[in-house]
Chain A
């Protein structure tokens, strides 16, 4: 018998996927749940539909809290839920929550299912292979640590029955030397697939913390997904303003410069990294660039040159995510659009705000490249 809740759930899914009730589309929220993975925080996309109610705005709002802290100390971003007391209003029933943990592999799987991401077909060029031992045969001899207990006893039982010494009233099975069976290994050659990801971010003054936090969330999900698709994943980070440099992850997210913006400088650094470390015959290469779209006008021509000449031919996908910023002009996206038709591995996405992360990940990874 179908349960009512399954009908409700299916109906909800249909609405979220836009199959019915199109007018509700603007109320669909792509929220996130925050979970812990070891020590880091992860976010899981959760859709819901907002039923509009009369509510207070943020201006003039506040609440009561509990804990340490000086007066004037910030306790959270303004875009958090304004209902400070955590009063869910007439939340039905009385229930009781606690948190537990989750693994990255599960996360990736859920993400894939949620966004309906295609599995990635690694490029045919790759020649790397590894030998792996798989214990999938049975041998008569072997080390005791590999003894197959179940088979050994089955064999002993068979022998005892055929010899007529087995007594069902007193079912004792005693294996002899000859009964012992061992697991054996076969070596199999498996192609290994590796991916190199290069993240490029504009750290000029026009990128604010909010833009960076969007980049961070998005990069986390891209990592998680690509890691689930390849055996080995190497990640490099490049930041740039008017000049570019390769940095480690921490610096990547925490650097703030005030200079101008020259995107070609970053493309040069990416080109060098790819040439030196990741020959495209052996690696599946992904470049993700995040910027607010500001660039020095005369630099655009040079960018396209490097992009078309050196980067696009070797990348599985070159993804450009333009984060909307109050200061950025967003010009660079238009430049890229002029050549987009020529390359199907050039993927462009505009990320207006946190809610758009969800769609943008789907754009980047939805092609199965």
Chain B
């Protein structure tokens, strides 16, 4: 297998790279060494299908992705212009058939990404030597395939991929409690005291309240309940709901060593890619901000202006049902720059209620550039939107909130109010708009069954998908698996025991 096709860059592109790199540095961008390679579409599609890496473990889903990219290109629907991966040194791939103007634009764009990868806090814990790590994963999986058979390994990977998003993206950044080892329960202790009623003496009915005083009985019952609860607690684990389902499976599922390794590979890669999902808007916005700045100030020749405008506006195009992260990101960054240049922030500005005065507010602070550099360092998409989205910006950018209308079977514009839009944006960014799933109990009903909980926040779980995931989870866990959720405002438990599905309401 080849790692990369080390080809020297065409001189023209090398010159463009040197120039763009110089401009990027002059503006204060700070990046790892960036290595550009020029690929034809076939190669670029392969890299893209592999998530930007030259080598990944064998799996059909990469083939599917490749097929789609190649088809899109063959039918002339879409075309990838560039790819860049978060490694040190940074690798970026350019499409050979791009015009020189396109190459300059994407080179400038890539430097934006590289700076973001290196400096944004959310990328800090990622493995910058992932190129090697991915190749390493590929070798390990290939070895298992040789030993256990293609289909066996593939089926297992399919099951792992079905739960690959059940990770805790914040885990690399904070210290959570170490999960407790599986509790050891003394069977003798559990065996004793197994009768279920309270201690009751025989008595005539009229004497009953004296011989068996109700308050004593109640106290006794309470005692026993407490004990029972303690017993249950001792049997069930983890102590508190755990969001990193993959880690829980790695720790407790009865996996053979190779399965354990494959699952941990899937989990590692999921954690590696997670920050890119967390910062899509900012990352694209930041890169677009810099390609636009560098190209319009320094990069363009007169002849290229129209092509540049066409390409740039194509990238920034919006459509009603889809929020373009490039557009939202660059506009919000520009807005922040403008506000900090003019001093449109702080208590004095916030207290001002006169719309005219607010609109013409200008304290000539010139802090804009400094501010956006700070923003790119500490924020992710959620905190970015939460901190900087303003009502004025929403009106300016014609943002709206839409929702699904069951009667019309259509998505309809629901609101143009600031709080509604902001809330919706934050909702759809939180956990990528996906349901929160936690492990509640790894010894459910004291039968070693796995119980998951869907944290219901207003949107129901898609049940057909959920059932299929349960089937895959049973393959990993080896015992029946349940998930608790809400449907039509009633609690619902979906279960799969390896043979049949069950759903219990209430």
Could you tell me the distance between the alpha carbons of A106 and B71 in the complex, rounded to whole angstroms? 12
In the complex, the answer to whether A93 meets B48 with C-beta atoms within 8 Å is yes
Q: Which of A24, A60, A70 has its CB near the most chain B CB atoms (within 10 A)? A: A60
A90 to chain B: which residues have CB within 8 Å? 165, 270, 273-274, 276-277, 432
Nearest Cβ on chain A to B195's Cβ, whole angstroms: 42
Q: Which residue of B is nearest A101, CB measured?
A: B76
Q: Which residue of B is nearest A66, CB measured?
A: B318
Let me know if A75 is at the binding interface, CB within 8 A: yes
In the complex, the answer to whether A66 meets B413 with C-beta atoms within 8 Å is no
Query: Which of A5-13, A137-145, A164-172, A273-281 lies at the interface?
Result: A5-13
Let me know if B119 is at the binding interface, CB within 8 A: no
Given known contacts A5-B50, A48-B64, A96-B109, A56 and B277 CB-to-CB distance under 8 angstroms: no
In the complex, the answer to whether A102 meets B76 with C-beta atoms within 8 Å is yes
Nearest Cβ on chain A to B266's Cβ, whole angstroms: 11
* 8 Å CB contact of B323 from A1, A52, A64: A64
Q: Which of A5, A21, A74 has its CB near the most chain B CB atoms (within 10 A)? A: A5
In the complex, the answer to whether B414 meets A71 with C-beta atoms within 8 Å is yes
Given known contacts A12-B67, A84-B402, A96-B315, A57 and B459 CB-to-CB distance under 8 angstroms: yes
In the complex, the answer to whether A87 meets B321 with C-beta atoms within 8 Å is no
In the complex, the answer to whether A63 meets B75 with C-beta atoms within 8 Å is no
Q: Of residues 172 to 228 in A, which have CB atoms within 8 Å of B's CB atoms?
A: none
* 8 Å CB contact of A97 from B66, B80, B398, B413: B80
A34 to chain B: which residues have CB within 8 Å? 77
Let me know if A118 is at the binding interface, CB within 8 A: no
Nearest Cβ on chain B to A182's Cβ, whole angstroms: 38
In the complex, the answer to whether B166 meets A94 with C-beta atoms within 8 Å is no
Query: Which of B17-25, B235-243, B420-428 lies at the interface?
Result: B420-428
Nearest Cβ on chain A to B259's Cβ, whole angstroms: 18
A88 to chain B: which residues have CB within 8 Å? 277, 280
B247 to chain A: which residues have CB within 8 Å? none
In the complex, the answer to whether A59 meets B404 with C-beta atoms within 8 Å is yes
Nearest Cβ on chain A to B93's Cβ, whole angstroms: 9
In the complex, the answer to whether A92 meets B51 with C-beta atoms within 8 Å is yes
Could you tell me the distance between the alpha carbons of A243 and B397 in the complex, rounded to whole angstroms? 51
Given known contacts A61-B403, A85-B429, A66 and B398 CB-to-CB distance under 8 angstroms: yes
Binary per-residue interface labels of chain B (274-301) against chain A in the complex, 1 for a CB within 8 Å, 0 otherwise: 1011001001100100000000000000
Could you tell me the distance between the alpha carbons of A162 and B162 in the complex, rounded to whole angstroms? 78
Q: How many A-B residue pairs have CB under 8 A?
A: 324
In the complex, the answer to whether A66 meets B437 with C-beta atoms within 8 Å is no
Could you tell me the distance between the alpha carbons of A90 and B2 in the complex, rounded to whole angstroms? 26
In the complex, the answer to whether B78 meets A85 with C-beta atoms within 8 Å is no
In the complex, the answer to whether A55 meets B434 with C-beta atoms within 8 Å is yes
Let me know if A347 is at the binding interface, CB within 8 A: no
Let me know if B108 is at the binding interface, CB within 8 A: no
Binary per-residue interface labels of chain B (387-422) against chain A in the complex, 1 for a CB within 8 Å, 0 otherwise: 000000000011111111110111111111000010
Q: Which of B52, B62, B151 has its CB near the most chain A CB atoms (within 10 A)? A: B62
Q: Of residues 38 to 68 in A, which have CB atoms within 8 Å of B's CB atoms?
A: 44, 46-49, 51-68
Query: Which of B53-61, B204-212, B365-373 lies at the interface?
Result: B53-61
Could you tell me the distance between the alpha carbons of A248 and B149 in the complex, rounded to whole angstroms? 59
Nearest Cβ on chain A to B138's Cβ, whole angstroms: 8
Q: Which of B60, B163, B314, B454 has its CB near the most chain A CB atoms (within 10 A)? A: B60
Could you tell me the distance between the alpha carbons of A10 and B66 in the complex, rounded to whole angstroms? 11
Q: Which residue of A is nearest B428, CB measured?
A: A85
Query: Which of B174-182, B340-348, B349-357, B461-469 lies at the interface?
Result: B461-469
B273 to chain A: which residues have CB within 8 Å? 90-92
Q: Which residue of B is nearest A67, CB measured?
A: B320
Q: Which of B76, B161, B162, B406 has its CB near the most chain A CB atoms (within 10 A)? A: B76
Let me know if A98 is at the binding interface, CB within 8 A: yes
Q: Of residues 100 to 118 in A, which have CB atoms within 8 Å of B's CB atoms?
A: 100-102, 106-107, 110
Binary per-residue interface labels of chain A (1-34) against chain B in the complex, 1 for a CB within 8 Å, 0 otherwise: 1011101111111010000110010010000011
In the complex, the answer to whether B411 meets A74 with C-beta atoms within 8 Å is yes
* 8 Å CB contact of A99 from B78, B400, B424, B472: B78
In the complex, the answer to whether A98 meets B315 with C-beta atoms within 8 Å is yes
In the complex, the answer to whether A4 meets B323 with C-beta atoms within 8 Å is no
In the complex, the answer to whether B75 meets A54 with C-beta atoms within 8 Å is no
Query: Which of B6-14, B29-37, B82-90, B220-228 lies at the interface?
Result: B82-90
B154 to chain A: which residues have CB within 8 Å? 11, 21
* 8 Å CB contact of B63 from A5, A57, A98: A5
Q: Which residue of B is nearest A3, CB measured?
A: B46
Given known contacts A5-B49, A90-B270, A66 and B461 CB-to-CB distance under 8 angstroms: no
8 A-B pairs with the lowest CB-CB distances in the bound complex, closest first: A92-B51, A62-B403, A8-B63, A93-B52, A52-B468, A12-B63, A9-B63, A90-B277
User: What are some 19 contacts across the A-B interface (CB < 8 A)?
Assistant: A3-B46, A4-B58, A4-B62, A7-B58, A8-B58, A8-B61, A33-B77, A56-B460, A64-B399, A74-B410, A75-B320, A75-B402, A75-B411, A90-B274, A92-B276, A94-B283, A98-B81, A99-B77, A102-B76
Q: Which residues of B contact A (CB under 8 A)?
A: 1-2, 46, 48-52, 55-56, 58-64, 66-68, 71-72, 74-85, 106, 109, 113, 138, 151, 154-155, 158, 161-166, 270, 273-274, 276-277, 280, 283-284, 287, 311, 314-315, 318-325, 327-328, 397-406, 408-416, 421, 424-425, 428-429, 432-435, 437, 454, 458-463, 465-466, 468-469, 472, 483
